[in-house]
């Protein structure tokens, strides 16, 4: 297995995020659950992601999940009727009408119903498994370098997908898992209300299979581009000319 401790430490050393990058694993029915993971009750996916980014090892199951939207996205439970109609989203003031809420909730990609018995989340540096997805909640500048690292060899443009709803479960985790590519999100009502995500933090996730390549390119960025940007030499020259 790859040296995930090394990758986690290098990522933190280069970028300087306050949170740990998180390893996510979808546990299929019939597979063994990882040892040493807590299973808190009445929690949301965004909350286990928060706990993992703060150093904990956490499992989420159909019996312990509290958020109906993420439960449906993870294939744990059917979507409740008031979410299907968009009524709940309109009642919370998230969308201006039930129709707008319905359009958004039905645009969400979801895992097959009952395919997975649990989701495991832990700090990347402590993972006992090869992660399906690696997720980082941090400042946009940190996420920018990871996004650039993902296309440093190919170039081109990145297109991020978000409904400003289900940012951690769908945008940051399920989309990278299903589509096999990096995705970033500005956050959403749910994760910003239910976790300690700061106003200056966003979220980015990418397939675990891409970790080695992304880290190799991040190392290259750290030798020249990143320190030059953070040194702000062009800005400093401007301030010297225009006091």
Q: Average of pLDDT values for 120-130?
A: 98
Q: How far apart, in whole angstroms, are the C-alpha atoms of residue 94 and residue 88?
A: 9
Q: Are the C-beta atoms of 217 and 153 separated by less than 8 Å?
A: yes
Question: Binning pLDDT at 50, 70 and 90, where does residue 109 land?
Answer: very high
In a domain, 238, yes or no: no
Which of 115, 133, 114 is CA-nearest to residue 52?
Answer: 133
Which residues sit opposite 135 in a β-bridge? 22, 205
Which residues form the domain of 126? 4-230
Model pLDDT, residue 173 = 98
In a domain, 185, yes or no: yes
Model pLDDT, residue 98 = 98
The answer, yes or no, to whether residue 148 has pLDDT greater than 80, is yes
In a domain, 236, yes or no: no
In a domain, 190, yes or no: yes
In a domain, 28, yes or no: yes
In a domain, 19, yes or no: yes
In a domain, 124, yes or no: yes
Q: How far apart, in whole angstroms, are the C-alpha atoms of residue 188 and residue 191?
A: 6
Q: Average of pLDDT values for 146-175?
A: 98
Average pLDDT of every residue of the chain: 97
For residue range 53-101, list pLDDT tens digits in order.
Answer: 999 999 999 999 999 999 999 999 999 999 999 999 999 999 999 999 9
Give whole-number Cα distances, 41 to 18, 32, 57, in Å: 26, 20, 14
Q: How far apart, in whole angstroms, are the C-alpha atoms of residue 203 and residue 172?
A: 6
The answer, yes or no, to whether residue 242 has pLDDT greater than 90, is no
Report helix, strand or coil for 188: coil
The answer, yes or no, to whether residue 243 has pLDDT greater than 90, is no
Domain tally, the chain:
1
In a domain, 24, yes or no: yes
For residue range 193-204, list pLDDT tens digits in order.
Answer: 999 999 999 999
Which alpha helices (DSSP H) does 114-155 contain, by range?
Answer: 140-151
Q: Average of pLDDT values for 18-37?
A: 97
Which residues sit opposite 59 in a β-bridge? 120
């Amino acid at each position: 297995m790859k040296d995930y401790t090394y990758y986690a430490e290098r990522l933190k050393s280069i970028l300087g995020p306050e949170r740990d990058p998180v390893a996510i694993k979808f546990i299929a029915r019939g597979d063994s659950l990882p040892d040493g993971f807590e299973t808190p009750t009445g929690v949301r996916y965004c909350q286990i992601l928060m706990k993992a980014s703060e150093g904990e090892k956490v499992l989420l199951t159909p019996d312990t999940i509290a958020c109906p939207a993420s439960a449906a996205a993870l294939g744990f439970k059917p979507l409740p009727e008031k979410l299907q109609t968009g009524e709940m989203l309109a009642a919370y003031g998230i969308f201006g009408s039930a129709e707008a809420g319905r359009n958004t909730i039905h645009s969400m990609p979801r895992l097959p119903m009952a395919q997975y018995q649990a989701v495991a989340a832990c700090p990347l540096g402590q993972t006992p498994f090869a992660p399906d997805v690696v997720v980082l909640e941090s400042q946009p500048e940190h996420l920018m370098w990871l996004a650039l690292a993902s296309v440093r060899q190919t170039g081109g443009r990145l297109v991020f997908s978000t409904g400003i709803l289900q940012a951690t479960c769908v945008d940051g985790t399920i989309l990278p898992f299903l589509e096999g590519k990096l995705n970033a999100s500005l956050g959403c009502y749910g994760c910003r209300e239910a976790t300690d995500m700061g106003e200056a933090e966003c979220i980015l996730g990418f397939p675990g299979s891409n970790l080695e390549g992304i880290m190799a390119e991040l190392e290259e960025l750290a030798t020249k581009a990143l320190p030059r940007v953070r040194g702000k030499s062009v800005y400093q020259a401007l301030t010297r000319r225009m006091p």
